Amino acid sequence: MTSDDLACVPEVEIDPDGTFKYVLIKVSTKKPAGGSSNEKIVVRGFRWGAYHADIFEDTEEKVRKMGLTAKCLGGGRIHHNAAAKQLNVYGYSQGFGKADHEQTVQLLKTSYPDYEITWSNSGY
């Protein structure tokens, strides 16, 4: 697969409102013999995910069908208040550990440039 395939993977996919679990995922092209892989970090967060693993497994299946690989870098929660244009990133995943919330916020800013986006290490 090529970096063009990687470009087809959106950096951010989260629910439009509410509080939900999220995961930070590294998506990569498969490393060719003697070559190097390309990669990008993506955020996925949905209310339907009872567990962080549910969200990761859904994303992993989708990128695998594209010939890409996925590795979960950690998780947490996002509170999305669309009416107030606010996102708050916090908490951790019991299964994957805490995601790098600063990195998550930087990715969210690309998709939500007119939002107030905050983060903290407190809460579950």
Delineate the domains of the chain, giving CATH numbers in brackets. 3-119 (3.50.20.20)
Q: What is the pLDDT of residue 107?
A: 98
Q: Which residues share a beta bridge with 89?
A: 78, 119
pLDDT tens per residue, range 50-66: 999 999 999 999 999 99
Task: Give the helix/strand (H/E) hosting 6.
Answer: helix 3-7
Annotated catalytic, 52?
yes
What is the DSSP pairing of strand 18-29 with strand 39-46?
A: antiparallel
pLDDT tens per residue, range 59-112: 999 999 999 999 999 999 999 999 999 999 999 999 999 999 999 999 999 999
pLDDT tens per residue, range 4-62: 789 999 999 999 999 999 999 999 998 776 677 899 999 999 999 999 999 999 999 99
CB neighbours of 15 closer than 8 A, spacing ≥ 6?
45, 46, 47, 80
Q: What is the pLDDT of residue 19?
A: 98
Q: What is the pLDDT of residue 35?
A: 72
Closest CA to 101 of 82, 72, 75: 75
Assign 32 to helix, strand or coil.
Answer: coil
Provide the token pair at 35. Answer: 């070559």
Q: What is the pLDDT of residue 1?
A: 45
* Per-residue confidence band for 2, with pLDDT thresholds at 50, 70 and 90: low
Provide the token pair at 104. Answer: 């998550």
**26, 41 in Cβ contact below 8 A?**
yes
Closest CA to 102 of 85, 121, 86: 121
Indicate which residue of 52, 79, 80, 101 is catalytic. 52
